[in-house]
A and B are shown apart, each in its own frame.
Chain A
Amino acid sequence: MITIEKKRTEGPVQSPAREGLTPEETGVELHFPAGLLGFEASQHFRLIRDEDLEPYQWMKGLDGEQAFLVIPPGYVVENYNIEISDEDQELLGLENPEDAMVLNIATWHTDETVTVNLKGPIIYNKVTSQARQVIPLNAPDLTLAHPMGN
């Protein structure tokens, strides 16, 4: 088991660089050998910056029309700790928690509220470029639809 910890991102909400995402990395390609849950066939995505939306980013499918709005957890909660199973760690080739980029998927609801899925985060290994939507071992303590703002 490996524990990944992300803390609240300080300062004005401007650039994804604050969560360790350099501008180069925001154009990064994510390879999901297992797809996303419910979208198992979607294995290739690209992170795309959108100045109108930062620090949200687009995770756009290269296999189809799929697009997701994602956000680093540092913009969502004070402390975000997730425990990654040995299997997920091995699949990601993750040796060091610092190599992991974490993104959470946001949903824009018809009542104009936004929630973020903290229970099924996306982990991206910056070293191996493997990505996976994981269910952390501590998932029962995590929120499926964390409300943003009011």
Chain B
Amino acid sequence: MLVLSRKPNESIVIDGRIKVSVLRVDSGDAVRLGVEAPLDIRVMRQEIYDEIMASNQAAAGSAGMARKQASKLKKQLAATP
């Protein structure tokens, strides 16, 4: 991993098109970052990425089983209030 020291109002540039700036360092341990990137670069908090990715992977993995148990799946749906 590349490790760099940056102060507030300093930035790093990734691939000539993504700029990550340190906006503020709180007295606690939070660092406020600003990201400027092209629209098609998806920027998100890692926790959210991880949980949606895990959910997608579980869904993809379960698809074959759902196919085999279609009748049970329909029962689940019928029971939904």
Residue from A39, A119, A120 in contact with B60 in the complex, judged by beta carbons closer than 8 Å? A39
- With a CB–CB cut-off of 8 A, which chain A residues contact B75? 149
How many A residues face the partner with a CB closer than 8 A? 42
- In the assembly, what is the distance between CA of A13 and CA of B74, in Å? 9
Nearest B residue to A50 via CB reads B70
Inter-chain contact B59/A105, CB cutoff 8 Å: yes
Inter-chain contact B59/A68, CB cutoff 8 Å: yes
- With a CB–CB cut-off of 8 A, which chain B residues contact A112? 69, 72, 76
A67-B63, A108-B69, A135-B48 as given contacts; A149 in contact with B56, CB under 8 Å: no
Inter-chain contact B77/A109, CB cutoff 8 Å: no
B40 within 8 A of A: yes
How many B residues face the partner with a CB closer than 8 A? 33
Convert B35-71 into 0s and 1s, putting 1 for each residue whose CB lies closer than 8 angstroms to a CB of A: 0000110101000110111111111101111100111
Inter-chain contact A87/B52, CB cutoff 8 Å: no
A66-B60, A109-B62 as given contacts; A117 in contact with B55, CB under 8 Å: yes
Inter-chain contact B55/A53, CB cutoff 8 Å: no
Inter-chain contact A34/B73, CB cutoff 8 Å: no
B14 within 8 A of A: no
A52-B70, A107-B59, A108-B65 as given contacts; A149 in contact with B40, CB under 8 Å: no
Inter-chain contact B49/A37, CB cutoff 8 Å: yes
Q: Which residues of B line the A interface, CB within 8 A? A: 39-40, 42, 44, 48-49, 51-60, 62-66, 69-80
* 9 residue pairs from A and B, CB less than 8 Å apart: A37-B52, A56-B77, A91-B40, A107-B59, A110-B65, A120-B52, A120-B55, A144-B55, A148-B77
